[in-house]
Amino acid sequence: MQIEGSIALVTGGASGLGEATARMLTTRGARVVIADRDEERGTKVADAIGGVYCKVDVTSAADVEAAVAKAASLGALRIVVGCAGVGWAARTLNKEGVPHDLQLFQNVIGVNLVGMFNVVRLAAAQMAKGEPTATGERGVCIQTASVAAYDGQIGQAAYAASKAGVVGLTLPVARDLSPVGIRVVTIAPGTFDTPMMSLLPEAAKKALGDGIPFPRRLGKPEEYAQLVSAVVENPYLNGETIRLDGALRMPPK
């Protein structure tokens, strides 16, 4: 799939991994629609890259349908990258014996898993209407999971379950969409230097980076975007989850 000349939809594109991806796709010649809840930041990034911003809650069918329609109005929607996500920490049973808040668990699953599938299903419906490329492709959907899907830590029951669900979606959805020439690939990042990490003290960030085998540092959002580029351009990558983590395997806590 060629990036140049394609229309791309990036959820969570206002910051972090999504912003880096939106910027990379733009420099490679794509027109990008940024779908994000943060209107101020999303508009700023879209204006900076010559893209389009849509205010989107990924759990809303109406919001996602509007963003997909906006992307389709610009040309052939070929690339979708799902970076929207949330994460909260809570133990299944805390030290006072209080069980995990059920609504919190449902919220995390709702955004990270249901929201991811919502975007893929609606984007795929639009992609399937388009003409295939010379290689028979109509599009590629890239999902974002996490190494927590495999190495969930203490307090990550909701987050790890949601990301494991994204990993679980990958192969069956890729198989579902194969007749119409749409690929589905998931990236499972490790510990990346994103705005969420910026809330930590520098000493804590350094300690996290030192725990990564090599390179001994936090991942850069641009490195995630590099992998997105490789996935888009390699037509034989399909139905797979790729860890991007510097050989990190998370400890229990």
Asked if residue 2 is part of any domain, the answer here is no
Residue 150 pLDDT > 90, yes or no? yes
Confidence of residue 169 (pLDDT cuts 50, 70, 90): very high
CATH of the domain at 204: 3.40.50.720
Q: Is residue 186 a part of any domain in this protein? A: yes
| Mean pLDDT score, 80-101 | 94
- The chain-wide mean pLDDT, for the chain, equals 95
Q: Could you tell me the residue range of the domain that residue 16 belongs to?
A: 7-244
Mean pLDDT across 43-64:
98
Respond yes or no: is residue 159 known to be catalytic: yes
- Tokens (6 digits) for 16: 């972090």
Report the DSSP beta bridge partners of residue 10: 34, 81
Cα–Cα distance for residue pair 103/89, rounded to 1 Å: 13
Report if residue 252 sits inside a domain: no
The yes-or-no verdict on residue 250 having pLDDT over 90 is no
Task: Please tell me what DSSP assigns to residue 214.
Answer: S
CB–CB of 107/35 below 8 Å?
A: no
Residue 245 has pLDDT above 80, yes or no: yes
| 61-74 vs 115-127: helix crossing angle, rounded to 10 | 40
Q: Output the pTM of the full model.
A: 0.95
The DSSP code sequence of 82-146 is: E-------B-SB-TTSPBPPHHHHHHHHIIIIIHHHHHHHHHHHHHTTSPP-TTS--EEEEEE--
Task: Measure the CA–CA gap between 237 and 171, rounded to whole angstroms.
Answer: 11
Tell whether 16 is covered by a domain.
Answer: yes
Length of the chain counted residue by residue = 253
| Residue 253 placed within a domain | no
Strand partners, 187: 144, 242
Residue 94 has pLDDT above 70, yes or no: yes
pLDDT in tens, 107-135: 999 999 999 999 999 999 999 999 999 99
Whether residue 198 is predicted with pLDDT greater than 80 in this model: the reply is no
Number of domains in the chain: 1
Percentage of residues of the chain with pLDDT beyond 90: 89
Q: Cis peptide leading into 172, omega within 30 of 0? A: no
Whether residue 199 is predicted with pLDDT greater than 70 in this model: the reply is: no
**Given the residues 53, 159, 224, 236, the one annotated as active site:** 159
Percent of the chain with pLDDT strictly greater than 70: 99
Q: Is the per-residue pLDDT at 196 higher than 90?
A: no
Q: Confirm whether 146 is domain-assigned.
A: yes
155 assigned to some structural domain: yes
How sure is the predictor about 14, in pLDDT bands with cuts at 50, 70 and 90?
A: very high
